[in-house]
Amino acid sequence: MPLKFISALLALAASLPAAEIRVIEEIVAKVNGDIITRGEIDRGRKVLEAELKAQNIPTARAKEILNEKEKSGLREQIDNLLLVQRAKELNINVDPEVTRRIAQIQMESKLTDPDKFQQWVREQAGVPFEDFKAQMRNQLLTQRVVGQEVGSKISIPKAEVKKYYDEHQGEFIRQEQVFLREILISTEGKTEADLAAAEKKARDVQARAKKGEKFHELARDNSDAASAKEFGDLGAWKKGQLDKQIEDVVFKERKGFITDVIKMPAGFLILRVDERHAEGQAAFEEVENEITERLYGPRMEPKLREHLTKLRENAFLEIRQGFVDSGAAPGKDTTWKDPAQLKPETTTKDEVRARKKKKFLKIIPKPGFPGRGSKAESDVSAPPPAGNPATAPAPAAVPPAAK
């Protein structure tokens, strides 16, 4: 909503009797051409409350987390808005990615009807479908900006990664474990004919995986297991945690191995060994990426904060009294200016006449200035030539005595 329109609404509200004013949404910050409302901050808190409750976080700890969130709530809103605005300045387009992700979610929901799918999203996300898409778009935009303008400038030399490995080898002693992905073709509730079709589908999918098709995409598109939305990812497993017939196979194979179709009570199962860790000290090559991530994180946060401070310095920012931006740029004035309290400038007729008089006096040359007197006077007093300026007579030459 344009700020001019908001200002007009506020000015109108100020002129109404108190009984006629009803606050629909309170603006707490203006960020360039956009606004942040109290409702947006409150919704963020409610989402966090629901997440903490779902995770069974103890009440005392949950209260601490919520209090911290309250202190940083406005800061995070401003951070996200500035990054989205920066993405638009850089002409970053994530619409194809949004479309792809929405299509993937719709496929996983198994709802082909658009209206039913949108209703399902509203129920799952707790927001209208268009708001859900906008949130996804903004999240992708912020990730692109952070990656492009901050992350790409952080480099971790391999020598530093190796040094960390040498100094922390005790942290990389592995237990024997495998990392698996699955594709399950369900047989629950199926007839004899359906069972034959399910087995055929499982064997076809397994053959495609063996030929080189991406296993995680096959899992996403074909698996009936809940893990399909995670591309079939089952995480890490140690010996003794798996069914014996599966354990005997996967613990003796290498990374990338794909099992034959395994008949299980729930259906036909296909597994892929994503990674396998032998027992003992992990080699540097096995943990190089993990160490790089460890070293990257602590450097990313201050660099991102520095970038966001620069965006604040160059932004138009106003924050309502009673709200605090904990990421404020030092020395920047973000004082809230209420349009309803601004007084229009007025000018009297006498002031206008006085200004005209001063302007006229500036035109008249000082007496005795060589060569200026007669020309300036003729310029001021002579009327403009009549008719077409192109055919008007040329002005008289200045007499030699005046030159």
10 Å CB burial of residue 10 (0-12, 13-18, 19+) is middle
Residue extents of the structural domains in the chain? 3-154+304-319, 176-278
Domain 3-154+304-319 and domain 176-278 have a common topology: no
pLDDT in tens, 244-279: 888 888 988 889 999 999 999 889 999 999 988 888
For the domain made up of 176-278, give the CATH fold. Chitinase A; domain 3 (3.10.50)
27 vs 44, residue with greater confidence: 27
pLDDT in tens, 89-113: 999 999 999 999 999 888 878 888 9
Choose the CATH number for 3-154+304-319 among 1.10.4030.10, 3.90.110.10, 1.10.10.60, 3.40.630.10.
Answer: 1.10.4030.10
52 pLDDT higher than 90: no
DSSP 24-90: S--EEEEETTEEEEHHHHHHHHHHHHHHHHHTT--HHHHHHHHHHHHHHHHHHHHHHHHHHHHHHHT
pLDDT in tens, 364-376: 555 554 444 444 4
Residue 199's pLDDT is what? 92
**DSSP 3-state of 204:** helix
348 vs 62, residue with greater confidence: 62
**DSSP 3-state of 198:** helix
Rounded CA separation 81/75 (Å)? 10
Question: Which pLDDT band, with edges at 50, 70 and 90, does 345 fall under?
Answer: low
Number of helices followed by number of strands (H, E) in the chain: 13, 9
Q: Residue 340 to residues 14, 39, 287, 357: CA-CA distances in angstroms?
A: 6, 22, 61, 35
Q: Euclidean distance between the first and final Cα of the chain, in Å?
A: 63
